[in-house]
Structure 1
Amino acid sequence: MPFHLELPPTFIDRLRGADRPQVGMWVCSGSPVAAEIAAGSGLDWVLIDGEHAPYGLETVTELLRATAAYPATAVVRVPSVDRVLIKQYLDLGAQNIIVPMVDTVAQAEEAVAAMHYPPRGVRGVGSALARGSRWNMVEDYLGSASGTVGLVVQIESTEAVENVGAIAGVDGVDAGFVGPSDLAASMGLLGQQTHPDVVAAVKTAIAAFTAAGKPVGVNAFNPDQARDYLDAGASFVLVGADVTLLAGGARRLAEDFVDPLEGNDR
């Protein structure tokens, strides 16, 4: 008897079915151990970052495997709106894709097309060879694939905020995610993610996706800022990263033990 598998719900499915905002953290180290710890921590989701972290396809695959057994949902950020790379990420089993730097409707439509097989999109067909379909152990994968993937577009520039209502309305854009760091930089406020003008722009994006009836999230390592965005209507948020937690913990150990021994001369 043939063996059939079912893929887990998408991040979008989980957002729509949740009775509270979903809280997550980044996995930027490339460590499967760190990914497992994050995915089993009690947080709702983990973001495997293929934009700023040094990840090849093999690393992303290993991180997806490492997190698969745990409750948190894995979401993968690709480096750019690249139909070839998005095809590869989908084939290796990434169901939930974040595309950064989506500034225009045309870029959003390009991302949507990359997520889906023809006639809806342009995704290349190689599912029988790929983990995405569990090597054809998912019954009728080609016919059902669109329902097993979710697209989140990232709003992180002044141009994107100007176009956010139209971007949010694009069919196939399932959710938005606001990046305050790049948004601040594009506003001439580099490193000032909590500047009032940046906060206002973030809330404009949150309001636009909410008005479109779509989930919207934001990156906010500052706890007070994260809570403010949740109060403004964000339905998911990132509040930390494996590398920053490790770096901060290591520095605290040095401050607690090394500095006293050296008389705080460092």
Structure 2
Amino acid sequence: MDEEDSVGANKCPVCGSDPRTHPGLRFKINTKCYHRICEGCVDRHFSSGKAECPVGGCHVSLWKREWRTQTFEDLKIEREVEIRRRVTKILDRREEEFETKRDYDDFLELREELVMNLVFRTDVAATNRKLKEYAQANGIKTDPTDGPEPGAKAPRRKDMAPDAADQSGLIKGLKRIVIPEAKAPYDPFMGMPRTREYYEVKESYITRVRGKPAEAMLAGGYDFAQYMDESLLRAFAGLGVFIEDEMSARDNTAIPVPGPT
């Protein structure tokens, strides 16, 4: 193909714009039908919302944001790279998630098989169904441009089986999910009983000091009575702790230092 034919092949299939007569003409492609049209046609056909691809005979519905600048000169390479990116985003597993190295190798072989099915258009419907079922079972959003199906609810992590690494059954050999035990909330008093035997908070104290009902006062996010109670608790928390007893107990358990011989 000579230079003139090459330039002619770059014409927009919709409006016929030619780079020879429109310097700076830029083209965009989409990752569904991979048709290539100029930016002007993208703006005219998709600025109002979702519409069909304007290339003759194509009825794929697209959003304007689905059109992007072409990366590779060969559209076949462009398509394969996009398919690999999409499949890898869904089947994103690491070696440490599998029981054995053989299980991980089987997973890589499965992923490559699914990629090749889409690249060479073999069992496309079955392959897409497997990917969709896996994504839905594992709470993965596959297409950010499409909204949820009517009446469909996205699965929530808390609704999934706690010991299932893949509920769809597509991937084999995954380790069982081990949920760690919940940690106890932090206790600044380190288990010391929080008794209020050293003081008593009365409503009359608060009302007399402030001259307002306790409900009208807040302090640090607490009700004022709660704030005063917490402050007094911390102030009196040291009562009943005898430093001398603790020091003697510490000295008795200390390792003696041998003297000079």
Same fold (TM over 0.5): no
Query: Which structure has the bigger radius of gyration?
Result: 2
Q: Is the strand fraction higher in 1 or 2?
A: 1
TM range (shorter): under 0.3
Report the TM-score when normalising by structure 1: 0.19
Report the TM-score when normalising by structure 2: 0.19
Q: Is the helix fraction higher in 1 or 2?
A: 1
